Amino acid sequence: KKIMLIIGATLLLVGSGIYLYSHFFSQKESYVRTAPVISRDIVGEAGNMVFTIKDVEVPLREGTATVEGIPGTIKMMSASLEIDFNKDSVMDRAVIIKNERDDGSMYFYVSVVIVGSDNTLSNTNTILLGEGVLIQRMIELPDNMFSVEYLDRKSPKDTPSLKKKRTFKVEGYTLTEIVKK
């Protein structure tokens, strides 16, 4: 019995060590920019742009809007991801837009704000991330791509707990989702 206990404890220690090493010390997915770029407050400026959500034009004013065709309030979230999508040495932004509805539901969308060579702002289409999700982070990837990690719900009444990751690519002024097969 004593030998079995020692073997079990040793296996538990080794397993715990492997878990801790892989969880805290192993390389996470990362991408390093190759050139320094110039930045400005794109999110603040984008708070006064028109985004299209579900074929409805949404003119944001200071980051919020209410419009016919989409119930509730639409808000630009402060979190964003800087990437030079159009390779002009000026940072563009991947942004999250939240639609809080009167029934308590919240829908989240992703879009990209692109700074043109003349410093004007344009944006891509928006893509629905989901209802009631909890955004965790956005990660820059190579080739004009980025991913959004978030927690989703198992059912509409549950707390978000399912880890999800979706990858997006910008080509010109079009945002598309990369679906792995």
Structural contact between residues 145 and 167, judged by C-beta atoms closer than 8 angstroms: yes
The residue assigned the tokens 């074929």 is 55
Question: For position 21, what pLDDT does the model report?
Answer: 66
Instruction: Enter the DSSP assignment of 49.
Output: S
pLDDT at 170: 92
d(CA 30, CA 3): 44
For 154, the 3-state DSSP assignment is coil
What angle is formed at CA 146 by the lines to CA 142 and CA 147, rounded to 5 degrees?
130
- Taking the model in full, what pTM does it have? 0.75
More confident residue, 20 or 49: 49
pLDDT digits (tens, 9 = 90+) for 17-42: 777 666 665 555 555 554 444 555 66
Q: Give the separation between CA 153 and CA 132, rounded to whole angstroms.
A: 7
